[in-house]
Structure 1
Amino acid sequence: MASDICRRAVEVIGDGVPSVEGSLTGYHHETYAFTLSVEAGASFGERWKIREPRERLLWFDRRCFASEYYLLHSLQRSIDVVPEVAPVGGVELQRFVEGVTLGERHPSGEAVPGVVFEQILELFRQLIAVTSDTLVVKQKCKPRDRVEDGDSAGFLERLIWFTQECVYGQNLPEYEDLFTNLGLGLNSFEYLRNHVDGLTSRPFCLLHADLHRENFILDSAGKVWVIDWELAMLGDPLYDLATHLHLMRYPAQQEREIIQRWCAIAEEVREGSSEGWIEDLPRLLDYKKAQSLFTDVIRETQSLVVTGRLDRRRLREASSKVWDVLWPAAEPLGLTSRPSLLEIEAALLRWGRRDAAAHT
C-alpha cells in the first residue's frame, strides 16, 4: 500500500513522466525521487525528491530546526553545496543530486582525494560564518535545550542530557537488562560528565552535525554536495569537527591535516572558534564514542528480531559491531570491566529471545 508521501509525489509530478523511484535508502526519512513535468515548473531532465521522517523511528539526536526544508531555503545564499529547494503544487521539494556518495568511491578509512578534501574545508568555512544573527529560521529546541552563545560546556551538557534521557532513559524499559549486562547504567553518564568537564568557550555557529561519507554526494563535474541536514543545530564549532572526524575515519596523516587546516580556517572566519582545541577535541571525540555505544546497541538489536522471530544469522555480526563501539567508549564511560565478544553475543541472544517472545 502506497504511503501518504508516495501518493503526494505521484500527484505533483504530472502526466507523461517516468514513475516515482523509491522509497530510497535512508534511516531517518522515507524519500522518493522523480522528474517533474515542464508543466509542473521544472527544467528538463532534473530530478527532485520529497521526503518525510519515517513513522515510529527511534531518534538518537536532537532536532533543533522545525523544518529541514526551510533551513535549506535560508542557506541557499550562504552555503553553496546545499541542494536547491522549491515548493511545487503545495509540496516542499529538494533537488535530487545525481552522483555517487563519497563512501561509494572512498570507503571509511581511506584517504579523501585532495579536490574533495578542499571542498570539505570550504564547507566548514561557510558553516562557521553562519550564526544566529544571520540565520533566520524557526527553531524547535525547547528552552531547556538552548544555551547562551559561546557556552560550549553548557552545549555539551545538553547533548549528554539528551543521550541520557532520550536514548538511554526512554528505551530503558526494553533495554535495561541488556545495558546492565554490558556494564552501562546511570553512573556511566556521571562518569562521562566528569570525563569531559571543562570545555573552553567558543562562539557558536551553524553545525551540520552529521558530516559522514554517505552525506557527501559527488556529481559528474566533481562538485561535492551535502545532504541530510535534519540534525543541523547552532552550537560549538569544534563539535562539528569532532563529529566529522568520528564518522569519517580518516587515515592518521589526513586527520592531522584536516585538524590543522580547520583551526586556521576557524580563526580566520571568527576569532576564538578554535580556542582550546588541543584539550577539548579529545573530550568531544570521547562524547561521540559514548553516544555511539548507546545508539548502536539499540540499532543493532533492531535487526535481530524480524516478524517476531529471532534471526540467529545476524547475531555474530551484531555482536561484533557492539564490540567495536564498546571498547572505544569504555574509558569515557568508566567501564572497569569490558565484556568479551562471547559475553556480548550471549547478552544479545538473551535480549533477542525475550523480545521475540514478547511479540508472539
Structure 2
Amino acid sequence: MSPQSASIARLHAVEVSGDESLVEGPLHGYHHETYVFPLLGEAGRVRPGRWKCREPRPDLLWFDRRCFASEEQLLRDLQGRIHGIPEIAEVGGISLMRFIEGRTLGSLHASGTPVPDVYHRQIIGLFRQLAAVAPASLGAARRCDREDRPDDGDTEGFLRRLVHFTEHRVYRHNLQRFEGLFHELGVGHEAFGHLRAHVSGLTRRPFCLLHADLHRENFIVDAEQRLWTIDWELAMVGDPLYDLATHLHLMRYPAGQARRLAELWHTTVEEVRPGGTNGWRHDLPLLLGYKRAQSVITDVIRHALMLGAEPDVGRHRLHSAALKLHGVLGQAVAPLGLDPVPGTDRIAAALTRWCRAHRAR
C-alpha cells in the first residue's frame, strides 16, 4: 500500500509499531477501521501483547444513539471498576487499545444455544459492576447536551429519546432511499405512533452505566475461560432494565436460560442499586418491544444494503434475507401495529425491486 493510499489508522499503526510487517488488518468491524500489532523495544517490554489502532469509518449509518464522546476515554474512566475490559495506553501521542486475545462467545456458542454457567456467572457479574457505576461518578465527556439528558430515574424520558432517535435519525433520515421498501413491508410513519403508545407507562428506576450492546460477538473468551467485554462504543447512562432487555434480545438465549438470567439480574442489580429493578416484570416486555421494533428498521436497511452491494443476488441469498426479515417483522407486530406481516415471497420481491432501483442509480 502506497503512502498516498494508506489510511490514517494504518499510518498510525505503522508509526507506533515500528515495523510495517507486524501490522495486521484492517480487521472486520462496522464502526472502525482497525489494525493490530505488537510494540517493539522498550515500549513492548512495558506494554507486552498486541494493541490496536483505529479510526472511525467515514459515512457510517448510525442505528443507535451514542452517549459518550470517546470510547477510549470511557474505558480509562472504568479501569478498576469494571473487570475484563481493554486497557488504554498512549504511545507517541496516539491512543491505543489492548487487543484481547481469544475467541468470541458467539464462535464457541452460537446464537440460540445455551451459554455455559462459567460464562453466565461472569455476565451476571458484569451487570453487578455496571449497576454500581452511578452517573455522577463518570468523568468521561458526553456527546449529548445537558438538556437532552433525562433526569436520573426518568425511564419514560430515557425511552422517548431512544424512540425519537430511531424514528428521526434512522427511519426518516433514510427515507429518500428506503421509503418504497418500508412501504411495501407495511412500515409507515404511523408505526411510531403505535410504538410510543405500546411502550408507555414505565416505572421509575435509578440510572446507572449501560453497555447497551451486550451480544455474543462483544464477549471474548480467553485461554483461562475469562470473559472480556469489548466494543463500548454504544455505552450510555440510563435505565438498567434497558441493558437487560438489549442483552436478552441480542443473545437469543433458549427461553429457560433467558428466564433464569432475568431472575439473577433482578437479585443482583437490586443488591447494588436499590430500586434499580422496580417494576421490571411489567416493563421488560415493553423494552423488548422497543428492541424488536428497532430491529425492523435497522435490519431492513442492513439487508437491503448488503444485497444491493452484490452485482447479482442469488435466489438462496435473497430467500435467506427475506426469511430473516419475515421473522423480524413478525416479532414486531404488537409494538409497530403491523397487520398483516408480508410473506417471504412478497418480501423477496420488494428487496429485488429495491436492489434493481438502487443499482440503476
The TM-score bracket by the shorter chain reads over 0.9
Q: Does residue 288 in structure 1 map to residue 280 in structure 2?
A: no
CA distance in 1, matches of 2:46, 2:53: 17
**Aligned ranges for residues 277-316 of structure 1 at < 5 Å?**
277-306=280-309, 309-313=311-315, 314-316=317-319
Q: Does residue 225 in structure 1 map to residue 210 in structure 2?
A: no
> What per-residue deviation string (whole Å, max 9, x for no partner) do you get for residues 315-351 of structure 1?
2222122112111012210012110100001111111
**Which residue does 1:123 correspond to in 2?**
126
CA distance in 2, matches of 1:144, 1:321: 39
**Which residue does 1:161 correspond to in 2?**
164
Q: SS of the counterpart of 2:220? A: strand
**Which residue does 1:236 correspond to in 2?**
239
> CA 1:62–1:39 in 2, change beyond 3 Å: closer, same or farther?
same
**Which residue does 2:75 correspond to in 1?**
72
**Which residue does 1:175 correspond to in 2?**
178
Tell me the TM-score normalised to structure 2 length.
Answer: 0.96
Q: Larger deviation: 173-182 or 24-33?
A: 24-33
**Which residue does 1:109 correspond to in 2?**
112
What is the aligned counterpart of 1:8 among 9, 12, 24?
Answer: 12
Q: Does residue 38 in structure 1 map to residue 41 in structure 2?
A: yes
> What per-residue deviation string (whole Å, max 9, x for no partner) do you get for residues 94-151 of structure 1?
1001000000111111111111111100000000011111111100013453110100
> What per-residue deviation string (whole Å, max 9, x for no partner) do you get for residues 46-77 of structure 1?
00011222111111001110000000000001
What is the aligned counterpart of 1:134 among 115, 133, 137?
Answer: 137
CA distance in 2, matches of 1:38, 1:84: 20
Q: SS of the counterpart of 1:222? A: coil
Q: Confirm or deny: 8 A CA contact 1:14 1:36 kept in the other structure.
A: yes
**Aligned ranges for residues 188-337 of structure 1 at < 5 Å?**
188-306=191-309, 309-313=311-315, 314-337=317-340
**Which residue does 1:61 correspond to in 2?**
64
CA distance in 2, matches of 1:217, 1:223: 8
Q: Match of 1:14, as an amino acid?
A: G
Unaligned runs of at least 5 residues, structure 2: none
CA distance in 2, matches of 1:87, 1:43: 12
1:41 CA displacement? 4.8
CA distance in 2, matches of 1:60, 1:144: 22
Q: Match of 1:158, as an amino acid?
A: R
Unaligned runs of at least 5 residues, structure 1: none
Q: Confirm or deny: 8 A CA contact 1:215 1:228 kept in the other structure.
A: yes
**Which residue does 2:351 correspond to in 1?**
348
**Which residue does 2:26 correspond to in 1?**
23
Q: SS of the counterpart of 1:112? A: coil
CA distance in 2, matches of 1:163, 1:189: 9
1:42 CA displacement? 4.7
Q: Match of 1:6, as an amino acid?
A: R
Give the number of aligned pairs: 356
1:310 CA displacement? 4.8
1:154 CA displacement? 0.6
Q: SS of the counterpart of 2:224? A: coil
Q: Confirm or deny: 8 A CA contact 1:14 1:39 kept in the other structure.
A: no
Q: SS of the counterpart of 1:201? A: coil
> CA 1:42–1:215 in 2, change beyond 3 Å: closer, same or farther?
farther
CA distance in 2, matches of 1:91, 1:40: 13
What is the aligned-residue identity percentage? 56
Tell me the TM-score normalised to structure 1 length.
Answer: 0.96
CA RMSD of aligned residues (A): 1.4
> CA 1:44–1:4 in 2, change beyond 3 Å: closer, same or farther?
closer
CA distance in 1, matches of 2:285, 2:306: 32
Q: Confirm or deny: 8 A CA contact 1:203 1:272 kept in the other structure.
A: yes
CA distance in 2, matches of 1:46, 1:265: 34
Q: Larger deviation: 289-298 or 45-54?
A: 45-54
Q: SS of the counterpart of 1:161? A: helix
Q: Larger deviation: 279-288 or 129-138?
A: 129-138
